[in-house]
Amino acid sequence: MATGGLLCAAAYIRMRSSVDPKPPRGGSTRVILEQVHTAIQMYELDTGVLPSELRFLIEKPKDDHWAGPYLKQFDFRDPWGTPVHYLPAQSNSFELISAGPDCQFGTDDDITRHAPRREPRPVNWGGGM
């Protein structure tokens, strides 16, 4: 009886992998974008500005108020191997974009995480108010 169950499971897995060789990865992409989004917010809280590049979430820029790293070693690639695009805006907002399964930016399967415009927060670097 147990052998029959194992054979059915193996057949299902084989059938599933032949029908859908690339399982959906959108959920893990959203998790990656959310992790980077949170790290950017932490960076901004410490420095008062958005990072100019994602690498400054790991590497110290020329800013005395950097308290990172905000992520452990991170590849900044989506599950399909394409680098995540980071688009900071002067309006104190930013967007993170994965090219999605087709690995092409600007198509319908792109996955984005947008941070809406917000007022800059005053930063107190220890002087008391």
Please give the DSSP secondary-structure letter assigned to residue 3: H
Distance CA 35, CA 37 (A): 5
Domains and CATH numbers, the chain: 26-115 (3.30.700.10)
- How far is 69 from 56, CA to CA, in rounded Å? 8
Residue 110's identity, in one-letter code, is: D
Global pTM value: 0.69
- Supply the DSSP symbol for 103: T
Interval 47-86: pLDDT, tens:
988 999 999 999 999 877 899 999 987 788 999 999 999 9
Roughly how many angstroms between the first and final C-alpha of the chain, as a whole number?
74
